[in-house]
Amino acid sequence: MLLTLLIDLIKYRNIINYVLHLFLLPMENMPLILSIGFASIFITILICLKSKKTKIDKTPILDSGRVSILKFNTNVFFLVYLFLLIMMCIIGILSEFYEIVLAGGSIALIPLIIMILFMYKKW
């Protein structure tokens, strides 16, 4: 295996070409990406090491997304998910792909049903 690796390394002349060959990608932008990548890793480590940690009383928690529309309490994420699902169903129906609207649509509907149960049912 080592011999194969050595032969490959000779074939591809240097380690960089060999690594690029492994990735099998058209590499026009790779020098740019690699330099940005290495610089980013270096800067990230530097920021983490140099930064002073601040005292926080409470761990930041994400917003629940509760909104009130026309005196009706709901959740903004529920609405966005519902919007995406409805649009996909409309496009599916317009493109006459009814099977997936039924199959995929019913699976995608499950999280919304559970959300409704959690939002409006007191356990």
Partner 1 sequence: MALIEINQNFGESSEYLFLFVLTILVAWILLVIFSYRTYGYKKTIRFFLPMILASLFVESAGVAYGRYYYPNYLLYISLVGGSVPIIIAIGWSVNLFLFIHMGQFFVEKFYKTTNLLQVILISIVGGGLGICLDLITDPIAHHNNWWIWNQSTSGISFYDVPLTNFRGWFIFILYMSVLTLLIDRSRYSENRKLLISLFSISIVGAAILVTQFFFMGSV
Binding status of residue 98 toward partner 1 by CB under 8 A: no
Q: Tell me if 87 sits within 8 A of 94, measured CB to CB.
A: no
DSSP alpha helix (H) spans, the chain: 2-11, 15-23, 30-50, 76-94, 98-120
Shortest distance, position 9 Cβ to partner 1, whole Å: 19
CA-wise closest residue to 81 among 101, 65, 103: 65
Shortest distance, position 34 Cβ to partner 1, whole Å: 10
Applying CB under 8 A, which residues contact partner 1? 22-30, 33, 36-37, 40-41, 43-44, 47-48, 51, 53-56, 59-65, 75-78, 80-81, 83-85, 87-92, 94-95, 97, 99-101, 103-105, 107-108, 110-111, 114-115, 118
